[in-house]
Structure 1
Amino acid sequence: MPVFSANLGFLWTDKSLPEAILAAHAAGFVAVECHWPYETPPEDVAAALKETGLPMLGLNTVRGDVAGGENGLSALPGRENEARAAIDQALEYATAVGATSVHVMAGNASGAVAHSTFVGSLVYACAQAAKNDITILIEPLNRNDAPDYFLRTTDQAVAIMDEVKASNLKLMFDCYHVGRNEGDVVTRFKALQPVIGHVQFASVPTRGAPDQGELNYAFVFRKIDAAGWVKPLGAEYKPGGSTEATLGWMSSLV
């Protein structure tokens, strides 16, 4: 039977991060993950994790100038020093709270120079992360939500991983992004399972709770479970209101 992680970048955003961790535990999640926790002192997060016994699965590197439209730094030519600083920041925070992975965000870029820049950033990130047994994740984002994002497809991600050749570089397989970009989510999952480090989900196409939309998550969860995946699946959806009001899927889809 699948088990679930609450992504606190979208769930319980009306609460502080420590309070959201407590809420996730009360709701029956077995783990948590987040986006950009840096405004919360890591010792406060660590205390909430200790109180609940929940592991923190991962967090993201910062996006850069969000107001200016940036969505990551690691593939941006000329921004290598900032990208490495963001990687260092994420790894330091992850170590402080016991997180096991860091999602390195590529940013909005294209072309061969962006590719080589991203590869260089990932080589650096993987070497630094290995010191504390942290996994580096990369995640293709769909063209509808992030039309200018450098990393767009799972095939592109696999090619980059083959080039970097680091055992601690894995794919973030987000069923929502794969569903919108490529479709055939279960087949893609099975083909990519050896290189997947984490799985996330949300409804397609609205990115709401998984018990709505065109993707049958009762089927998807069953097939992922049958494939032998035992790690928590990350609920990274936008509740559009009270998180508690959307949690019926935790019993209806498993």
Structure 2
Amino acid sequence: MIQFSANLGFLWSDLTLPAAVHAAHRAGFAAVECHWPYNVQAQELRTALQATGLSMLGLNTLRGKKGESGLTALPGRQQEARAAIDQAIQYAVQIDCKSVHVMAGISAGDAAEQTYFANLDYACYIAKPYGITILIEPLNNYDAPGYFLTTADQAAKIIRAIAHDNLKMMFDCYHLQITQGNITRALQKHLPLIGHIQIAAIPDRGPPDHGELNYQHLYQTLTDLGWDRPLGAEYLPNGPTEASLRWLHKASVDEI
């Protein structure tokens, strides 16, 4: 049976993060994940996670200034990028979160690539003693125009070049269906390099029960491939989160 993680960057975004953890638990999610938890005291969030028994699967490094979408591939911003990496890893350690998504940013060219590689090498080195996986995520150019990382093949090339065993791909089906399609074969090709998978409907980024991607087929594909970790539900509920959860209730009773 496929399990799911509630992305609290989008789900229950009207609640405080600790309250959203409790809401996700009541709804039947197996885990949670978030975007930027830094305005919440880590101990307060840790208390909510311990009370519910849910794990926090991942969090993001800071986006930087408005429109930057990350700092890691921005030439000349290494000090800020590494401070953001340090902050994310320190926070993750405090809440026993085992993955950090290091956001690349809006950038391109050889200098951006060299900067990105150097900062990812740093992130992996700092994270490794804590058992933390560093994630990189291809984003589509409709939602994130000019983002440095856009395809699964590009992410795989970077992961192999940097060659740290705690560097993995965040495979977001929404972004990659828009960018490249062929999701089934991309999963088959890259599964050993994937650290986390996220889902949402395409093209509206709503609940994963409609749109152009057949998630029932995808769940069966992942089961056949041996994937046994929760999938991140990172979708826009377009109203109260509870009203958007019919897909979750159906998945919980269906044999996948």
- 2:123 equivalent among 107, 110, 125: 125
1:158 & 1:218 partners in 2: Cα distance?
26
Task: Determine if the alignment matches structure 1 residue 92 to structure 2 residue 94.
Answer: no
After TM superposition, give the deviation of residue 53 of structure 1 in Å: 0.3
CA distance, structure 1, for counterparts of residue 209 and residue 156 of structure 2: 30
SS of equivalent to 1:172: strand
TM-score by length of 1: 0.98
Aligned to 2:34: 34
Q: Residue 172 of structure 2 corresponds to which residue in structure 1?
A: 174
Task: Give the structure 2 partner of residue 52 of structure 1.
Answer: 52
What are the Cα deviations for residues 73-95 of structure 1, in whole angstroms up to 9, with x where unaligned?
00000000000000000000000
Per-residue deviation, 1:143: 1.3
Report Cα offsets for 1:40-87 as digits up to 9, x if no partner: 000010000000000010100000012xx1110000000000000000
**Deviation at 1:219?**
1.1
Match of 2:221 among 198, 201, 223: 223
1:242 maps onto 2:234 in alignment: no
Q: Which residue of 2 aligns with 1:8?
A: 8
The code of the aligned residue for 2:152 comes to T
What does residue 208 of structure 1 align with? 206
Q: What is the Cα deviation at residue 243 of structure 1? A: 0.5
Alignment of 1:124-163 (within 5 A): 124-163=122-161
Cα distance in 2 for residues equivalent to 1:12 and 1:29: 13
Report the alpha carbon displacement of residue 251 of structure 1 after superposing the two structures with TM: 3.0
Query: Could you say what secondary structure the match of 1:118 adopts?
Result: helix
- Once residues 18 and 77 of structure 1 are traced to their aligned partners in structure 2, the CA distance between those partners, rounded to angstroms, is 36
- Within 2, Cα distance between the matches of 1:207 and 1:120? 33
SS of equivalent residue, structure 1 residue 65:
coil
Q: Offset at 1:36? A: 0.2
User: Which whole-Å CA distance do the structure 2 matches of 1:221 and 1:252 have between them?
Assistant: 13
1:218 shift after superposition: 1.2
Partner of 1:131, secondary structure, is helix
Aligned Cα root-mean-square deviation (Å): 0.7
Q: Bigger shift: 213-222 or 136-145? A: 213-222
Q: Could you tell me how far 1:172 is from its partner in structure 2?
A: 0.3
Report how far residue 222 of structure 1 moved: 1.5
Moved over 2 A (4+): 251-254
Report what 2:230 is aligned to: 232
Distance 2:144 2:68 in 1: 11
Tell me which amino acid in the other structure corresponds to 1:33: E
When the two structures are superposed, what TM-score results if normalisation uses the length of structure 2? 0.97
Give % identity.
54
Q: For each residue in 1:207-228, what CA deviation from the matched residue of structure 2 results, as whole angstroms up to 9, or x when unmatched? A: 1100111111111112111211
Structure 2 runs not aligned, ≥5 long? none
The alignment of Structure 1 onto Structure 2 pairs a total of residues equal to 252
Query: Any idea what SS the aligned residue of 1:171 has?
Result: strand
Q: Distance in 2 between matches of 1:178 and 1:252?
A: 25
Deviation, 1:252, is 2.6
1:208 is paired with a residue whose SS is coil
